Amino acid sequence: MKRIGIIAKKGEPDAVKAVKNLMQWMKKKKFEFYIESEIASLLKIKGYPRKEIPLKSDIIIVFGGDGTLLSVARLVGDLGIPILGVNLGGLGFITEINRGEIRKEINKVFSGKCALEERIMLLADVYRGSKRVIRQNALNDVVLNKSALSRMFELDIAINGQYVSTFRADGLIISTPTGSTAHSLSAGGPILYPTLESFLITPICPHTLTSRPIVLPDTFVLEVTIKSGDDVYLTLDGQVGFPLKENDRIVIKKAEYKTKFLVLHDRDYFRILKSKLKWGE
């Protein structure tokens, strides 16, 4: 494990400092490192396009917050490269260590004193007629919603090829356990423990109050058909968007690969929930 990829949040001054410090440490240990171009240019060293870094790396260290980590998880995809998240801001749900811990904790990565935690990802295919027009993955969620005016649209829902119901709603969130504390939570969905092998369907402001969130095994396949509505978008992890048309079919299932996170210490998920959600305050 000698080849280290480094990706950082864009426009974050603290990221530059943190990467510089880590780079100095890696030089002493004679590690190979591959730093994305934007950060590398600020450090006046050779950089690499972000999309090339997973192909060159044994592990990837990500400096930023949960949003940066989500983008890297999608980038790594099926390559199986372990990811270590270093949080530069407030408390994150999926970043592993804080900026001040990097020097103390980084040796554990290379001494074998760490574990891998795997999280399921979703795969979304959009079909227009008989043609698949896009395929995208997501670690947090796949969301169908309106681009501007908050007007309801109709969605036909089928699970494992069987029609279930037609929803009239402002949108629909299909979330992994990792993403259950993101958009789904704000729409009234439950919190799922992040390593569960399941996914969650949460309607956004449904017309019928009996349309409630539902948790499904991750072996199921969900199919959503846009029955009516203009300016409907598919959004992946809140970062990638694609416009949809009436009669488009979106097939969502578990990806055949998982995101692998490096875990350096006993991570108390419930402590994170208590702090992030301000339980008991």
Q: What distance in Å separates the CA atoms of residue 69 and residue 139, rounded to the nearest whole number? A: 9
First to last CA, the chain: 43
Q: What distance in Å separates the CA atoms of residue 98 and residue 130, rounded to the nearest whole number? A: 47
Is the distance from CB of 22 to CB of 61 less than 8 angstroms? yes
3-state secondary structure of 27: helix
Angle subtended at Cα 179 by Cα 103 and Cα 88, rounded to the nearest 5 degrees: 25
Is the distance from CB of 79 to CB of 55 less than 8 angstroms? yes
Is the distance from CB of 36 to CB of 56 less than 8 angstroms? no
Active-site amino acid positions = 66
Beta strands in 139-209 (DSSP E): 141-146, 153-159, 162-169, 171-175, 198-204
Q: Which residues of 9-46 are buried (b: 16+ CB within 10 A; e: fewer)?
A: beebeebbebbeebbeebeeeebebbbbebbbebeeee
Spell out the alpha helix ranges (H) of the chain. 13-29, 37-43, 53-56, 66-76, 102-111, 183-186, 269-276
